Amino acid sequence: MLRELMLVLHDEAVGTRTNTPTPAPADDPILRLQEELQPHDGEFRVQCTTHPGELTITGIIQMCPACGARRDWLLICDGNQVSIRCRCTHQWVERELGRADFEAMADPGGEVYDSLQTTIQAAGYSGDLAGAYWT
């Protein structure tokens, strides 16, 4: 009463098990970075605006955890993710803000720069003006 079990693998079955799915371009961080580094084509992928005063989110005044600054921010919007950057170069993602909040704070128009790094330097958020406040 001993039965033998024979497993038959067809070439098609083996092929589907060894082929890994290719990630979509939006899922691959390297492809996304290459896409972001392409020259400006008329569509803004990353937008920035300055916010000179205090920034209150859900009733709490934002404060830089690195230097204690309470005003003079650079807001960076990438898709629906908004980051806050201080003049001391500390930057964090603010999960309470979305694209609609960013657009409500941003002025229309403005300069167009080749990269986010160029924007950060031109706006004075590269660390050179850390601790400086304009009145």
pLDDT digits (tens, 9 = 90+) for 2-14: 555 555 555 555 5
Sign of the alpha-carbon dihedral angle for 74, 120, 116, 89: negative
pTM above 0.75? no
* Tokens 């098609």 belong to residue: 12
Contact yes or no for 48/76 (Cβ under 8 A): yes
18 pLDDT higher than 60: no
Q: Is 73 exposed, middle or buried (0-12, 13-18, 19+ CB in 10 A)?
A: buried
